[in-house]
Structure 1
């Protein structure tokens, strides 16, 4: 990335554009009573991860057997929380409206969830078809596949892309893709990366 200037910005969605990581992990607490750690610890543990991996970890760590339909139960609860509490982080719309380089979403979430969340928060107009899901390619963070796929689809070299992420898994994935990454620390997310920002009103990414 010459002169530290990005040719494309790749956004994660949950916990990065939308205050949804908190809601997704609250849904875990609501549907799996065996989980006995605070919400902020749960976010740190599972942020950006594949749902199936999360369920495996929960069964192992909390010594429980989840019902066969746990994914349906969980996603139903997530949808309920999204309907009542989902919102974009303050300042996101202003940033998206003023970015002067191409941008997109690369997320571990399924496309149906992404489309519903963007419509609910009135962000659909900003991304249109520039939405890339791990479920489309079978690669989940911290594997770099989804970011490399997004860069390819946007026709931008990986080293000229800049990733905005909130989770450890996402930051690892971006680094493995040879992309610069900056962490957004909103809601209950704590800084774990040298480059971070806490408000979209102080969006620090240099673009041209």
Structure 2
């Protein structure tokens, strides 16, 4: 049995999609600018969050109810932005090609959006058959259900899983699931206190090796 299973978030972790996803809100709801809402603020507010909660917060900001077709229109606009602009995060293809531990994706997005993002960025072949969506499981971060489902599907105990996330809610879901969290933040943001911070995907194999060594040392102390 492999020592670790790596569970990747998608948006902002494997693909550079956070800006595009939030730009879509500004494109479809230009009145947000009149409330002083910027793209950077939206990224910080909505990173990793469930769509229903985002819609509710947008309605609070705007003081109105969004029309019933807003979410489908949003999904369509995001798909267009992905098809023209989406790129993998720096170093991700090279990092995935080096990984020896089994790995998968567990994302809060719908399955179609996940597959579109992976296809556009040329990453789909790394994850075929190992893609888990909150919409299929019915559990959204920070609830641990999605990560626990992924671990079970991958045949790995939670304590031997490493979650790679960018969002605080994702780190909180990993914590609730009893999993080790690595938080990828290439900018200057502070890490969640539960997570180990890193800012370069080329460092991930080394961090995973360190985690394996830690688990082995702990097992040695228990024996």
Q: What's the TM-score once normalised by structure 2's chain length? A: 0.86
Alignment of 1:23-42 (within 5 A): 23-35=20-32, 36-42=36-42
Q: Deviations over 1:17-44 (max 9, x none)?
A: 0001111011111111232322122111
Larger radius of gyration: 2
User: Matched residues in 1 for 2:133 and 2:61: separation?
Assistant: 28
Give yes or no for the alignment of 1:66 onto 2:50.
no
User: What is the root-mean-square deviation in Å for CA atoms of aligned residues?
Assistant: 1.7
Distance 2:19 2:3 in 1: 29
Q: Does 1:107 find its partner at 2:107? A: yes
Partner residue in 1 for 2:220: none
In 1, Cα distance between equivalents of 2:151 and 2:174: 11
Q: Name 1:198's counterpart in structure 2.
A: 199
Unmatched runs of 5 consecutive residues or more in structure 2: 213-223
Question: Residue 148 of structure 2: SS of its match in structure 1?
Answer: helix
Q: Distance in 2 between matches of 1:44 and 1:145?
A: 23
**Matches of 1:206 and 1:13, distance apart in 2:** 18
1:138-167 alpha-carbon deviations (Å, 9 max, x no partner): 110111110000000001000110000001
> Do residues 14 (structure 1) and 16 (structure 2) align?
no
Which structure 1 residue ranges, 4+ long, deviate > 6 Å from structure 2? none
Q: 1:202 deviation in Å?
A: 2.8
Cα distance between partner residues in 2 of 1:189 and 1:19: 16
Residue 66 of structure 1: SS of its match in structure 2? coil
Unaligned runs of 5+ in 1: none
How many pairs does the alignment contain?
Answer: 203
CA deviation digits over 1:18-74, x for unaligned, max 9? 001111011111111232322122111111111111101111233122111001111
More helix as a share of residues: 2
Q: Structure 1's 98 and 77: CA in aligned 2 closer, same or farther, altered over 3 A?
A: same
1:44–1:189: 8 Å Cα contact kept in structure 2?
no
Structure of greater relative contact order (alpha carbons < 8 Å, 6+ residues apart): 1
- 1:104-183 matches, within 5 Å, as 104-183=104-183
Q: Secondary structure at the match of 1:104?
A: strand
Q: Could you tell me the TM-score, scaled by structure 1's length? A: 0.92
Residue 82 of structure 1 is matched in structure 2 by 82
Q: Tell me, what secondary structure is at the counterpart of 1:205?
A: helix
Q: Which secondary structure state, in structure 2, belongs to the residue aligned with residue 206 of structure 1?
A: helix
Q: 2: CA distance between counterparts of 1:173 and 1:29?
A: 28
